[in-house]
Amino acid sequence: MKLKLFLLLVFISFYSWSQAGSTKMFTNNGTFPVPAGVTSVIVQAWGGGGSGGGASDSPLLLGRGAAGGGGGAYASAPILVTPGATLNVVVASQTAGTSGVGAAGGNSTITGFESSILAAGGSGGDANNTGGSPAGGTGGTIAASAGSSKFAGVNGGNGNSWNLLGLLLSSGAGGAGANSGGAGGGAVSGLILSNAPGIAGSPAGGGGSGAINSALGAAQIGGAGAAGRVIISYSCPNYSITSTTATSICASSGTTSSIAVSGNAASLPIGNYVVTYNRSSPSGIALTANLTVSTAGTGTFTAVGLTTAGSSAITITKLDSDTCSSIITTNNTATVTVSAATVGGTVSGGTTINAGSTSGLLTLSGHTGTVVK
């Protein structure tokens, strides 16, 4: 019941105030910076495929086929995240085949969320170095995985051994990755005295097939197990602002102005942004600046390049927070007043007087700015 309620709350938070859903797919380890306003994501993961077994040491007139590796499991789950945090995504890498027993595929998960989302890798296929019928690798299991939805990978096919010069010899196929994952490597076969490595599985999570070896041929390696995959799905908020204000500056003290933006907590949530803005004087188009919102609904960024005295309009055109983006068209302009740099000028006139007497006329010329007594 608690899980159903959590999933319902996630659904409501995704679709009640957000843009269309977004996804990011990882085929290798990577990072996912959480955009501002995103507090939950749905993670789908496929474990890696196990590699196929190797085959070797077939005696005269005999052939050996090794077993295929198991396919990776699938798991999915919603997880709660913190805007501005970075998720470390772990994707099972390809598993190389060897001439011995195939290696197990790795797990795919999010670091720190292993108990909530993890897709287990498939087991490697048994080698055929002694004859018999080696067993295919077990697909990644539900028991070894974590998530609100889990599917086991497909088991790899068994190997075999043949007489009569290895006539009609074949290996075990690799198991497919779960839930529309990648296909397993196809079984390797040959008519007579065949020697061939196994075939690699396809991403995501396909197991490699076993190798075949005949009549004193060289050892053959199993097919590689395919890498896993992770997909993160989320919905971006619609960012907007309700007011934009600017501080006036003096050219003698700098060429930057602090621009304050405000909005409601939902439309300007806590997180890190990149602001795109235009400047009227001197003209500047599609300038960018970093904006950090520590308190929902308010933040500041620095407009630069204000080198011309007079008025300069700063117009915000877009707010980006990592992969989330909103075009800004209202309440997005503030005017910066740039005062010319002050010049002290020179004083002339006056005569030598006694203490306490009124001086002669003093004349200030060549100055700019306001005279302060």
- DSSP letters, 339-366, are EPPPB--EEEE-----TTSPP--EEEES
Q: How far apart are CA 310 and CA 53, in angstroms?
A: 77
Amino acid 278: pLDDT: 99
Q: For residue 350, is it within any domain? A: no
Residue 139 domain-assigned?
A: yes
- The answer on 191 and 53 residing in a single domain is yes
Torsions phi, psi for 2 (to 5 deg): -65, -40
Tokens of 289: 């600046």
Nearest-CA neighbor of 67 among 227, 259, 209, 268? 209
Same domain flag for 68 and 85 = yes
Q: Are 209 and 184 in contact (CB under 8 A)?
A: yes
The answer to whether position 185 is within a domain reads: yes
The answer to whether residue 253 is domain-embedded is yes
CB atoms near residue 57 (< 10 Å): 16
Q: Which amino acid is at 273?
A: Y
Token pair 């500041």 in the structure block, residue = 300
Establish if 217 belongs to a structural domain.
yes
Q: Is 300 in the same domain as 168?
A: no
Residue 112 and residue 26 share a domain: yes
Q: Is the peptide bond before 73 cis (omega within 30 degrees of 0)?
A: no
Write out the residue range of the structural domain in which residue 243 sits.
238-339
Instruction: Provide the residue type at 50 as one letter.
Output: G
Asked which of 183, 213, 236 is the last residue of a domain, the reply is: 236
**Interatomic CA distance for residues 216 and 212, integer angstroms:** 12
Asked whether residue 63 is assigned to any structural domain, the reply reads yes
DSSP letters spanning 184-196: PPPPPEESSS--B
Its sign, for the CA torsion 300, 301, 307, 308, is negative
In this structure, the answer to whether residues 221 and 261 fall within a common structural domain is no
202 and 254 belong to one structural domain: no
* Shared domain check, 201 and 99: yes
Last residue within a domain, chosen from 236, 270, 297: 236
Nearest to 300, CA basis, from 269, 275, 283, 280 = 275
- DSSP 8-state symbol, 307: -
Cβ-proximal residues to 16 (8 Å cutoff; 6+ apart), any chain: none
CB contact set of 142 (below 8 Å; sequence gap of 6+): 73, 150, 151, 152
Domain's final residue, options 218, 236, 254? 236
Structure confidence at residue 54 (pLDDT)? 99
Whether 362 maps to a domain, the answer reads no
pLDDT at residue number 211 = 98
- Low-confidence residues of the chain, pLDDT below 50? 1-19
What six digits make up the tokens of 299? 């933040």
Task: Looking at the structure, tell me whether residues 174 and 42 fall in a common domain.
Answer: yes
Q: What is the identity of the amino acid at 158?
A: N
Co-location of 144 and 289 in the same domain = no
Domain identity same for 206 and 263: no
CATH number assigned to the domain comprising residue 303: 2.60.40.10
Burial of residue 278 (number of CB atoms within 10 Å: 0-12, 13-18, 19+): middle
Residues 190 and 214 in one domain: yes
pLDDT score of 1: 40
Amino acid occupying residue 113: F
- Identify the pLDDT of residue 192: 80
| Number of structural domains in the chain | 2
Do 248 and 296 fall within a single domain? Answer: yes
Q: What's the whole-model pTM score? A: 0.83
- Report whether 212 contacts 189 (CB < 8 A): yes
Return the pLDDT at 353. Answer: 72
Q: Could you give the CA distance from residue 278 to residue 315 in angstroms, rounded to a whole number? A: 5
Q: What six digits make up the tokens of 79?
A: 């997880």
In a domain, 373, yes or no: no
